[in-house]
Amino acid sequence: MKTFGQPAVAIAALLGILILGGAVVPRGRLFIPKGRSAVLLAALLVVLSLSFFLSYPVNPSMWPGHSPWSKSAKQLTQWFVDGAVVYFTVRFVQTWKDFRFALYCCFIGFFLSVCSAGLQIAAAHSPSSIAAGLMAVLHNSGMQHSGRLDLLAFEPSMAGDYLLSIVPLLICGSFYWKSHWWTVFWSVVSLILFCGTFSFGSFGALFAAGLVVGVVYARRGSKGLLVGVILLLSVLIGAAVSSSKGREFLGDRITQVLQNGLGPSIPSFSTRQRLAGAEAAFNIFLDHPLAGVGVGKSPFYMYRDYPAWALNQTDVEQSTFGSYSPDGAISFNFFVQMLAETGLVGTAIFVALLLSMLADCYQSMNAARETWKRRAFAGILFALVAQIIHYNAMTWLGMRYWFFIWGLAICAPRLLSQRDPRMPVRRTIFRRTPADAFEPQHVKAIS
């Protein structure tokens, strides 16, 4: 969950070049993904690349020593690394066997997150223990003492965002080859971790996505997922009101929104900071509506478009412009950031890509006749919907799991027509009636 620039990413990139390169180019032919979503992703990367060359005057006194061009180059590199995650996922998930292997790798990451949560709890319980010393080495930046689970991420909201990509896969049963009790156990573990982050935005995203996907899935005639979603929402609501942390970070903030609305007068600093960043980025878009200011360059134009009410609030102004780096000047909203940096052109393609991936998952889930396939596609759809909703509160491109889910969504139509040899095929045996008609006698499972 570390951001781009960490040594681990450099090692992963080197492995990708040295080891995966031969598989990407089998027999000298480059693998080119097909389908509507793949084309839209390629178009988005082209638009982002072209936006790099956009140039508008900036205030030279803002963040001296930092160049819009270097910031743009880093952001564009981020996009291509994330695009590579989608590409490799689509390249290697060719069959259901590959899908199982991909989710095994995903689960390994989740298991390590569970271990990090245990380490964090042990360190908090005994500050002078070995666990506390190890925690200090592993988690040397960010909000270490927030009293919430952060899974070694920079802040708990990032941990909540990560679990938005894990909880749906477990709840819906996308690990379809595993036993029912295995699914139940790890679903409960993931929910406990999720509740421990007390992330307001993540809770809202999972709540809304759970309702949407639960109702959609129930229309297929299966009420099981809808019941599961209701139980999930009950757990989330219970967590919001049953603990002091839940009341502080969830219950009280919901009350503040209901009493004050989403405006400058809301007491929550985090909410005011996010509102100010989004409003500033939208103002940048209004100044440059067609093509934006260029990928990664929006922080250099944010001060002049920052809302006056936010500049008059010391805590918001200092957190955004009080450092010597433009890294604090962010919009906290992926959609508004796309508007500011790529304008209507890039945002239209971005939204079309998201809708295309949603359609791939939804159509595959509806067309699947096997229950296990519907569960697999429902998990991907659930995770994708939750991600898209949470894009209204997140902008960091270092979240590789976003793009892993994107890759699985693009793979869905290809997997629909295939079968997994590990799963039994159900065939209906018909018998002939005296009236020379045929009626079903029983269903037989054939491995």
Q: What is the pLDDT of residues 356-406, one digit of tens each?
A: 999 999 999 989 888 899 999 999 999 999 999 999 988 877 678 899 999
45 burial (CB, 10 Å; 0-12 / 13-18 / 19+) is middle
pLDDT in tens, 253-294: 777 777 777 777 787 788 888 888 899 999 999 999 999 999
110 has pLDDT over 90: yes
Q: Name which of 7-11, 102-106, 369-373 the model is least confident about.
A: 7-11
Length of the chain: 447
166 has pLDDT over 60: yes
In what helix (H) or strand (E) does residue 299 lie, and over which residues does it extend? Answer: none
Query: Mean pLDDT over residues 14-37, rounded?
Result: 69
Whole-angstrom CA distances from 210 to 199, 204, 253, 318, 368 are 16, 10, 21, 37, 20
Instruction: Say how far apart CA 267 and CA 285 lie, in whole Å.
Output: 28
pLDDT at 240: 67
pLDDT at 6: 44
239 has pLDDT over 50: yes
Which of 27-36, 38-47, 56-65, 299-308 is modeled with the greatest confidence?
A: 38-47
249 has pLDDT over 60: yes
Query: Mean pLDDT over residues 185-205, rounded?
Result: 89
3-class secondary-structure state, position 432: strand
Put residue 168 in one of left, alpha, beta given phi > 0 → left and psi -120 to 50 → alpha: alpha
Cβ pair 194, 170 in contact under 8 A: no
How far separated are the first and last CA of the chain, in Å rounded?
Answer: 39
Query: Mean pLDDT over residues 234-242, rounded?
Result: 70
More confidently predicted of 7 and 293: 293
Query: Mean pLDDT over residues 55-84, rounded?
Result: 86
19 has pLDDT over 80: no
Instruction: Say how far apart CA 92 and CA 408 lie, in whole Å.
Output: 10
pLDDT at 436: 58
Instruction: Say how far apart CA 382 and CA 304 lie, in whole Å.
Output: 39
pLDDT at 134: 80
pLDDT in tens, 179-188: 999 998 999 8
Closest by CA position to 297, among listed 69, 80, 5, 77: 69
pLDDT at 207: 85
- Share the mean pLDDT of the chain: 82
pLDDT in tens, 292-344: 999 999 988 888 888 888 888 888 888 888 777 777 778 889 999 999 999 99
pLDDT at 14: 61
Instruction: Say how far apart CA 361 and CA 376 lie, in whole Å.
Output: 10
pLDDT at 291: 93
What is the CA angle 80-85-87, rounded to 5?
A: 85
More confidently predicted of 101 and 126: 101
In what helix (H) or strand (E) does residue 172 lie, and over which residues does it extend? Answer: none
Q: Which of the four pLDDT bands, split at 50, 70 and 90, describes residue 174?
A: very high
**406-418 exposure pattern, b = at least 16 Cβ within 10 A, e = fewer:** bbbbbbbbbbbee
248 has pLDDT over 50: yes
Tokens 């409960």 appear where?
A: 188
212 has pLDDT over 80: yes
**80-97 exposure pattern, b = at least 16 Cβ within 10 A, e = fewer:** ebbbbbbbbbbbbbebbe
pLDDT in tens, 136-165: 777 655 455 567 888 888 788 889 999 999
Q: Name which of 18-32, 209-223, 399-413 the model is least confident about.
A: 18-32
Closest by CA position to 225, among listed 92, 117, 382, 331: 382
% of the chain beyond a pLDDT of 70? 82
* Total-model pTM: 0.86
Cβ pair 272, 266 in contact under 8 A: yes
425 has pLDDT over 90: no
Cβ pair 403, 81 in contact under 8 A: no
